Structure 1
Amino acid sequence: MKNTIKHQYVVALLLSVITCSTMFSQNKSSKNFSIDEINTKVDSILPLLTLEEKVAMCHAQSKFSTPGVDRLGIPEIWMSDGPHGVRAEISWDSWDYAGWTNDSITAFPALTCLAATFRPELSAQYGMSVGEEALYREKDVLLGPGVNIYRTPLNGRNFEYLGEDPYLASKMVVPYIKGVQKNGVAACVKHYALNNQEHWRNIINVEVSDRALHEIYLPAFKASVQEAGVWSIMGAYNKVRGQFACHNELLLNDILKKDWGFDGVVISDWSGAHSTEESALYGLDMEMGTGTDGLGTSTANHYDHYYLASPFLKAIKNGDMDEALVNDKVRRILRLMYRTNMNPNKALGKINNKEHHDVARKIATEGIVLLKNENNFFPIEDKEGLTIAVIGENATRSMTAGGGSSELKPKFEISPLEGLKQRYKKAKIIHAMGYHTGSSVYDNIIPSNLNQDSLRIEAIATAKKADIVLYVGGLNKSHLQDCEGDDRQSYELPYNQEELINQLKAVSPKLGMLLVTGNAVETPWLSKVDGLLQTWYLGSMAGHAIADVVSGDVNPSGKLPFSFPKKLKDNGAHFYGEISYPGDGTNQYYKEDILVGYRWHDTKKIASQYAFGYGLSYTKFSLSNIKADQNKYNTKDNITVSCSINNTGNLEGDEVVQVYIGKKNSKVKRALKELKGFNKASLTKGESKNVSISIPVSSLAYYNESISDWSIEKGDYLIYVGNASNNISKTIKISVQ
């Protein structure tokens, strides 16, 4: 049905291009229309639309599309979930999969892995590749990336986001968006804003200070708008200061559209709209998902009964609302179309090609983080006579399935076990599951039908036969794990994995672990493992990437994009009790304020298990000759921090220089230090490289609540240069005048 309708619109559009030169003339001088050309075309179309047609464009006609206007050749808008790949085709009126045989794609690593690369140029390749796949699938809007800040390790959706630091998230999201949109596909950055937990996500009201809002939770969204020029934004489910985020006067009208100058489309999260009046007045442009049965079992769920459908039309006709409200929404929607499906210069897209697989593998290998490596457990040499026991369900479990709306249907998915078997030609690989968790679709949990004791006994017996044991454990993408719809209920590893690790150590002196998660976990078992790799959810090429690092073909260079607290109470969101997380069922208060993640650990002097920015290598690095270009700066200056990175080990590798800055004797509450710059460099054995990082003095500003604007304090600052937030090689004092 979709293809037939869409092709009809394409034909109508082509005829319109030929016959209506005023509306659809091609831009001969450049690949894409300029914003002035787009606005001129939009203004010429708007008077041709009836009120009914304009209102219809503001709400869904199916699960993932909005209607066009066929009499004018205006096409439908088609969307797909992201951000790790293009989701399989969904049925018109239900959440059932459509059962297509030609909608398989490349699954890219989760965004936590992308953030861990600390490599913005890889983010650009990621965005370009997934945008090409969306274009091939004829999608106009890719619903991603996600930039909600990692506030608590229990958030079921953290794996879709870019970590706990707003600067890192901003630097990584901008090239992703630009890469997607080079294809004529709109990125849709989400979930705006303060959607930092899944538990009670549809009802919880978030109360947060202006400083925390602007300094922690909004910067990546702001960068998406002002630096990347994102074409669409998805509202969040939760309330913010009493109003739902999908129609929120402060977030959408005041900040997004007025202060930041956003000229794109605000799309509701599915069923995120709750009121015709507020949707019309407070910034929502396109309503999706209201009534999950679509045109199915009840007329109450009919698309014409959406809040921005018949009730909106009636209010305008009755004079209760100004037609200017719908005109603004339609202008934005038409502007989106000229950037996407009404751009005559779009390419055709690509899917499942070698280049995309290579990008996925490169991101996966660069994002894997080496957390522990006693006695050089890793890398493991491939040699005759060696037996490696690979233990754990996560060695074979699909990690592209599940997780909620980000689940994917890849053409293939290389499991860790398969990847290791393909790489290790001399050593013998044996496997046992160890435990089995069953599966779930959102909150529909299907328990395992296997005997857990038998699986554990088999695993111990298998480990006894091996020279080395690799335990592949962690979380999965089932309900109450790394999954949309609710949060984790415990910080510990689930399914009695700690007991299994202890029993494996009792029979194997050489035990390493591949931790497959999108979240931090408690690690009371840490002393039992000699080596520990954080491997994330890595998509289609997962097994190959893991084997690359385990074997030493690739030297790990990932850095943690969030902290691992030793105990849950060591995390700032949990320190203040239930009113801070998860709230009382109605309200929650972000009582840790601006002290999120490493800011909390540093400022409160609470040691983390693993710090933000931490990650080991198979080689060794040192930083030397660390300096700033001067001692005194004015507010319009740039601070240039330079240093030498020295590879003092025996292997080629990559190191990330991280620059943090803190204010001494500040008149306002501050974190001890905040990330303000980083540079990832590749060095051969014995090589030294000079790197420099430029930091605008303006980036040292804090959000001044007394004037509702940014202020730069004069006085002394400290620059911290190191390779992790808790591993600083040198501190430099400067002053701002």
Structure 2
Amino acid sequence: MKYRDLITKMTIEEKVSLLAGKDFWTTHSIERLNIPSMAMADGPHGVRKQAENGDHLGLVEGVKATCFPTSATMANSWNVEICERIGQGLGQEAVASNVNVLLGPGMNIKRNPLCGRNFEYFSEDPYLSGKLAAAYVRGIQSKGVSACPKHFAANNQEYLRMTNDSVVDERTLREIYMTGFEIAVKESNPKTIMSSYNKVNGEYANESEKLLRDTLIDDWGFNGIVVSDWGGSNDHVEGVKNGNHLEMPTTGGDSDYQLLEAIKKGVITESLVDKRVEEYLDVLFSVQIQGEHQVNYEEHHELARKAAEESIVLLKNNDTLPLKPHTKISVIGDFAETPRYQGAGSSLVNSYKLESTIEVISDYELDYIGYVQGYDRIGRADSNKINDAVNLAEKSDVILLYIGLDDVNEVEGYDREHMKIPENQVQLIEALAKLPQPIVIVLSCGAPIDMLWNDRCDAIVHGYLPGQAGAKAILNVMVGKVNPSGKLSESYPYEYKDLSNYNYYPGLEKTSEYREGLYVGYRYFDTNAVDVRYPFGYGLSYTSFEYSDIKIDSNSVRFTILNTGDMQGSEISQLYVGKKSKAIYRPLKELKGFKKVYLEPGESKEVVIEFDDKSFRYFDINTMKFQVEDGDYEIMIGASSRDIRLSGTLYVKGVEVIRDTNISKRYFSGDVQQITNEEFEGLLGHKLPDADWDRTKPLGLNDSLTQMTYAKSRLARLAIKILLTLRKRSFKKGKPNLNILFLTNMPFRAIAKMSGGTVSMEMVGNIVTIVNGHFFKGTSRLIKSWIWLGRRG
């Protein structure tokens, strides 16, 4: 033991105190032994450090920090180097704010466009997600603090996220939902990882030996610590036993008491607690900050702008862009004045500065004739605003129209109900489309949307959620100062019903069933030849690129890219690998590498993309290991998943595979929208768990507050009715109440986990007794447990 002498000097009470938070954001210190505390802050795209009385959801304003583009935006850059530079910026600002652990990046797979937190995640593809996340981690940790990739694992919906059970077969779990984390762990050695709220196949992620010990430690060689998501610890004893090191936030000593009692009863040994403390101390001492540090926020603002420029995707262009000097332009749309540049929830950054289009447009050689709001931000119809927009647009040569998802549709704790943008924005598009002037649409959103209005405009510039410097970045692209080079990190379907998991998302009660298996995003669309509006990896440029001269050997694929246009630009070339197999089912193609290359007009470069241990593998559920199937593989180089420019064949020596007859032929064909219970059970290898709440049984600690809709207590039913009504009203006002969103999704046990010690788990049990219709019994016991808590404290 590295810290054996130090640990032997601790009392058992001091040991267990280190495994739970001191308050909302910091851990305990032990002054007599010179053991410091550790401060944490949210940080996927900006440091959100709050005061001691802070909260998890951004209700208390954090210190000023740079708001970089969100992860969903940066994924469109496909640029590992710029992501690492952003990580360095985040790490530097964390150090300056005395933050030891920055909680990010978020890297869950974008399984479905409706997930309310998609803006925090990179991609529908695990390889791209893992490579970019690893870059963030390297950058953050280069400054001496810890990154914390999250949320491990299979956390793909916000609705009932703290009680939902992700039912997913082992192969899909390993290949789609864990590969990104594997890449991040192996390539960047994060010091901490955050476990997710949900269950995975019946076990809470935060107390799963399979996830935290077998996979993280034994398979991947992780040597850091696991932190629970805030309020996401179900059973602290089981968590510590199976690999969790730190429960956050504080429970005011209640969790310490539970751990001490478990040691006394022999449920867990003190030697195992010593091991967790040893692992915790190793990270704690490695992230201590010495001295004072300053940040040049203006430099970081320019870095945020550069990052946004790298990530902007030009989806459509009928020769309208780039705008010529002195083009007479009208600017329409509320987002031009009050930009949507980040999502809402625990990642909300208090930006050091913020640019808007209206403020900076005078810096450009354009004849700007004016701005009108055009639509009500929260979706109310207003014909006067539309008329004002039309009147202004008529006087211009080109219309710049800023639209996208409103603030209530991309928020932690809530999933969208559909893919549409607000109807009043669509009405505005239709009205302007009647004019002869070309329309350039500037989109702001962190996930795919329904674009039935696509043919009503002449150009579409997608900025996603570009951070505090996004306004100038977008204008730089529109005037041609910057040649757009971003490409989509997710597919844009024509309609929501085109998705593979259209019938399975979200899980509405106890479970979320991943019946589509491996067929997420382009893996489904391309295998089934489903038309999409914009494919994975797609993005236009102001120049053109020619691919040629492919050479394939056992180590790599080589090819040449030539810039055939008259403007410098960057091209993102993508390596896809496919194999026709009768033994195991496979998508038509899967991303296995990429390179972003800058080229001057007429310049050509040879591009080399090396194969790695992810290139040809599949997860074998019989050996519980990754294997390579013997045979020929198709090697494809594309400008997108649907634009394959070069291809060839490579024989790879591997193992012979015998087909599992339990796997339905639907998985081999990719026709997975109507998978039956029997077919899914064949893939899972076991019977399906119950998906529905049992409304005949009393509610328990792990049931959600939402389930009070059928509680026996009339008072409980009234309470949840009020909460749901307040939630609905907040959405109508355009400002979702994040506390209410958290409450309606959380289980009863989280009352204790998030109350800072004012409510014990025993008290919550008594509250549940009241909810189940035993008012006097529960109230009497609640009072007694409250008195006992006071005495214990």
TM tier, smaller: 0.7 to 0.9
Q: Is the aligned partner of 1:379 residue 2:322?
A: yes
Contact conserved, 1:678 with 1:693, CA < 8 A, in 2?
Answer: yes
Contact conserved, 1:621 with 1:646, CA < 8 A, in 2?
Answer: yes
SS at match of 1:65: coil
Residue 727 of structure 1 deviates from its aligned partner by 0.1
For 1:625, the aligned partner's letter is D
- The equivalent of 2:279 in structure 1 is 332
For 2:227, the aligned partner's letter is I
The partner residue of 1:431 within 371, 383, 396 is: 371
Seen in structure 2, the aligned counterparts of structure 1 residues 100 and 694 have a Cα distance that, compared at 3 Å, is closer
Seen in structure 2, the aligned counterparts of structure 1 residues 98 and 201 have a Cα distance that, compared at 3 Å, is closer
- The 5 A counterparts of 1:627-642 are 627-629=551-553, 633=554, 638=555, 640-642=556-558
CA distance in 2, matches of 1:464, 1:246: 58
Contact conserved, 2:483 with 2:542, CA < 8 A, in 1?
Answer: yes
SS at match of 1:572: coil
CA distance in 1, matches of 2:192, 2:179: 16
Residue 569 of structure 1 deviates from its aligned partner by 1.6
CA distance in 1, matches of 2:40, 2:411: 21
- The 5 A counterparts of 1:184-583 are 184-289=144-249, 302-305=251-254, 307=255, 309-341=256-288, 346=290, 348-374=292-318, 376-383=319-326, 386-399=327-340, 403-419=344-360, 421-438=361-378, 452-476=382-406, 478-479=407-408, 481-574=409-502, 577=503, 580-583=504-507
- The equivalent of 1:104 in structure 2 is 64
CA distance in 2, matches of 1:429, 1:256: 58
Contact conserved, 1:437 with 1:495, CA < 8 A, in 2?
Answer: no
Contact conserved, 2:518 with 2:587, CA < 8 A, in 1?
Answer: yes
TM-score if structure 2 supplies the norm length?
0.80
Contact conserved, 1:105 with 1:409, CA < 8 A, in 2?
Answer: yes
Residue 231 of structure 1 deviates from its aligned partner by 0.4
- The equivalent of 1:36 in structure 2 is none
Seen in structure 2, the aligned counterparts of structure 1 residues 91 and 58 have a Cα distance that, compared at 3 Å, is same
- The equivalent of 1:47 in structure 2 is 8
Contact conserved, 1:264 with 1:336, CA < 8 A, in 2?
Answer: yes
CA distance in 2, matches of 1:96, 1:488: 18
For 1:404, the aligned partner's letter is G
Give the superposed CA RMSD. 2.0
Residue 95 of structure 1 deviates from its aligned partner by 5.7
CA distance in 2, matches of 1:43, 1:400: 48
Residue 260 of structure 1 deviates from its aligned partner by 1.9
- The 5 A counterparts of 1:719-730 are 719-730=635-646
Contact conserved, 1:698 with 1:712, CA < 8 A, in 2?
Answer: no
Seen in structure 2, the aligned counterparts of structure 1 residues 708 and 394 have a Cα distance that, compared at 3 Å, is same
Contact conserved, 1:106 with 1:351, CA < 8 A, in 2?
Answer: no
Instruction: Name stretches of at least 5 consecutive residues in structure 2 with no aligned partner.
Output: 654-793
SS at match of 1:227: helix
TM-score if structure 1 supplies the norm length?
0.85
CA distance in 2, matches of 1:59, 1:662: 46
1:637-688 per-residue CA deviation (whole Å, 9 max, x = no partner) reads x2x2111111111100000111111012342000111111111111111111
SS at match of 2:315: strand
Residue 90 of structure 1 deviates from its aligned partner by 3.8
Residue 455 of structure 1 deviates from its aligned partner by 2.3
SS at match of 1:191: coil
For 2:336, the aligned partner's letter is A
Seen in structure 2, the aligned counterparts of structure 1 residues 205 and 79 have a Cα distance that, compared at 3 Å, is same
Residue 594 of structure 1 deviates from its aligned partner by 0.7
Contact conserved, 1:203 with 1:586, CA < 8 A, in 2?
Answer: yes
Stretch deviating more after TM superposition (658-667 or 550-559): 658-667
CA distance in 2, matches of 1:553, 1:182: 32
Q: Is the aligned partner of 1:593 residue 2:534?
A: no
1:584-619 per-residue CA deviation (whole Å, 9 max, x = no partner) reads 311121111011111111111112111111011001
Stretch deviating more after TM superposition (275-284 or 88-97): 88-97
- The equivalent of 1:5 in structure 2 is none
Seen in structure 2, the aligned counterparts of structure 1 residues 505 and 529 have a Cα distance that, compared at 3 Å, is same
SS at match of 1:643: strand
1:351-407 per-residue CA deviation (whole Å, 9 max, x = no partner) reads 343332222111100100011001x11111231xx3211111111224356510111
Q: Is the aligned partner of 1:658 residue 2:598?
A: no
The partner residue of 2:534 within 610, 613, 617 is: 610
1:294-334 per-residue CA deviation (whole Å, 9 max, x = no partner) reads xxxxxxxx5112x3x21112222343321123212211221
SS at match of 1:702: strand
Contact conserved, 1:377 with 1:531, CA < 8 A, in 2?
Answer: yes
Seen in structure 2, the aligned counterparts of structure 1 residues 229 and 239 have a Cα distance that, compared at 3 Å, is same
- The equivalent of 1:35 in structure 2 is none
CA distance in 1, matches of 2:579, 2:61: 57
Residue 254 of structure 1 deviates from its aligned partner by 1.8
| Count of residues in Structure 1 that have an aligned counterpart in Structure 2 | 653
CA distance in 2, matches of 1:175, 1:528: 39
SS at match of 1:414: coil
- The 5 A counterparts of 1:678-697 are 678-696=594-612
1:85-109 per-residue CA deviation (whole Å, 9 max, x = no partner) reads 10142442656979789x2111101
Seen in structure 2, the aligned counterparts of structure 1 residues 170 and 96 have a Cα distance that, compared at 3 Å, is closer
Contact conserved, 2:402 with 2:442, CA < 8 A, in 1?
Answer: yes
Contact conserved, 1:91 with 1:98, CA < 8 A, in 2?
Answer: no
Contact conserved, 1:86 with 1:130, CA < 8 A, in 2?
Answer: yes
The partner residue of 1:183 within 114, 137, 143 is: 143
Q: Is the aligned partner of 1:144 residue 2:104?
A: yes
Contact conserved, 2:56 with 2:230, CA < 8 A, in 1?
Answer: no
Q: Is the aligned partner of 1:675 residue 2:622?
A: no
1:518-547 per-residue CA deviation (whole Å, 9 max, x = no partner) reads 101111000001000110111121111111
Contact conserved, 2:638 with 2:645, CA < 8 A, in 1?
Answer: yes
Seen in structure 2, the aligned counterparts of structure 1 residues 320 and 706 have a Cα distance that, compared at 3 Å, is closer
1:554-574 per-residue CA deviation (whole Å, 9 max, x = no partner) reads 000001000001111211121
Q: Is the aligned partner of 1:646 residue 2:562?
A: yes
For 2:377, the aligned partner's letter is T
CA distance in 2, matches of 1:182, 1:88: 20
SS at match of 1:372: strand
CA distance in 2, matches of 1:401, 1:225: 27
CA distance in 1, matches of 2:149, 2:540: 31
Residue 124 of structure 1 deviates from its aligned partner by 1.1
Contact conserved, 1:62 with 1:93, CA < 8 A, in 2?
Answer: no
Seen in structure 2, the aligned counterparts of structure 1 residues 711 and 72 have a Cα distance that, compared at 3 Å, is same
Seen in structure 2, the aligned counterparts of structure 1 residues 372 and 406 have a Cα distance that, compared at 3 Å, is same
For 1:720, the aligned partner's letter is M
Contact conserved, 1:652 with 1:683, CA < 8 A, in 2?
Answer: yes
1:401-431 per-residue CA deviation (whole Å, 9 max, x = no partner) reads 6510111111211123333x14324412411
Residue 517 of structure 1 deviates from its aligned partner by 0.8
